[in-house]
């Protein structure tokens, strides 16, 4: 059980992004060979330049190029607020080969998310069409498998409820639509904590105030795919950052093996 603090929740703080980091972030490399690199992307670090991240002062693709040298090509993307496994190709050919695996749904992706409420049923498939890009255009098929791994009820009053319920969810997207996991969990009325676009601002503020959590709690945990050159099966796991790890320890949540 989590002890409640006396401090009030600050209503004027509506940002769930981490505080600005010092320039030249050093990236944790999870896997590296002549064909590809896997890094553990920090939450809040933009992957590349775009109109959506106009206020960013550094970008993962530039940092990695400086860190390892040579050619680096994105094989896929993660939202700026999401942390975890990101694959980088060392050539355009490898990037294309990995892209085919993602498009062909041959890459098995596992994400960890802390959500508001307790999903019922505790395990299932979210089959809800989403726009293929951003929030515009025709809706396309989108499927996400989910499973509740742990849950907790904390004695913190919010609104008309004296206690708040949260769950740790394993999400496995079968398709790759824009912000798919975030939108799908919000569609179930169990939004990701820290999600400013699709979540609940009151619960986001609660996590900042009581748990010193200033990030979105969505993490690309594991990635399983075939090596684009050798065809050998590859499994990569990205560890949680200090904020996410401290929260799991406080809630006494244990990740599956």
199 found inside a domain: yes
209 found inside a domain: yes
Dihedral angle of Cα 84, 142, 48, 245, to the nearest 10 degrees: -20
Q: What does each of the 257 residues of the chain score in pLDDT, given as a tens digit?
A: 443 333 332 233 333 444 444 557 899 999 999 999 999 999 999 998 766 666 767 899 999 999 999 999 999 999 999 999 999 999 999 999 999 999 999 999 999 999 999 999 999 999 999 987 666 778 999 999 999 999 999 999 999 999 999 999 999 999 999 999 999 999 999 999 999 999 999 999 999 999 999 999 999 999 999 999 999 999 999 999 999 999 999 999 999 98
Residue 221 lies in domain = 28-251
60 found inside a domain: yes
Residues identified as active-site: 79
**Inter-residue long-range contacts of 69-74, CB under 8 Å, 24+ positions, other chains counted:** 72/37, 74/47, 74/48
| Total structural domains within the chain | 1
228 found inside a domain: yes
256 found inside a domain: no
> What pTM value is reported for the model?
0.88
216 found inside a domain: yes
22 found inside a domain: no
74 found inside a domain: yes
CATH of the domain at 164: 3.30.2350.10
- Cα-Cα end-to-end distance for the chain: 24
């Amino acid at each position: 059980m989590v002890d409640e603090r006396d401090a009030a929740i600050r209503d004027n703080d509506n940002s769930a992004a981490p505080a600005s980091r010092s320039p030249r972030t050093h990236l944790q490399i999870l896997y590296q060979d002549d064909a590809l690199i896997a890094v553990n992307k920090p939450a809040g670090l933009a992957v590349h330049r775009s109109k959506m991240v106009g206020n960013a002062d550094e970008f993962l693709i530039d940092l990695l190029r400086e860190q390892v040298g040579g050619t680096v090509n994105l094989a896929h993307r993660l939202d700026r607020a999401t942390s975890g496994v990101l694959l980088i190709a060392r050539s355009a050919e490898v990037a294309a080969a990995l892209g085919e695996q993602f498009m062909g749904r041959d890459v098995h992706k596992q994400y960890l998310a802390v959500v508001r409420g307790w999903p019922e049923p505790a395990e299932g498939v979210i089959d809800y069409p989403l726009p293929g890009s951003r929030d515009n255009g025709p809706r396309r098929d989108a499927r996400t498998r989910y499973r509740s791994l742990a849950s907790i009820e904390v004695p913190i009053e919010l609104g008309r409820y004296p206690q708040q319920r949260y769950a740790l969810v394993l999400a496995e997207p079968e398709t790759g639509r824009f912000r798919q996991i975030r939108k799908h969990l919000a569609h179930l009325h169990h939004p990701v904590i820290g999600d400013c676009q699709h979540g609940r601002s009151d619960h986001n503020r609660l996590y900042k105030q009581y748990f010193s959590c200033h990030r979105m709690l969505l993490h690309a945990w594991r990635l399983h795919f075939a090596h684009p050159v050798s065809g050998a099966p590859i499994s990569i796991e990205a560890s949680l950052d200090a904020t996410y790890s401290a929260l799991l320890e406080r809630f006494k949540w244990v990740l599956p093996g």
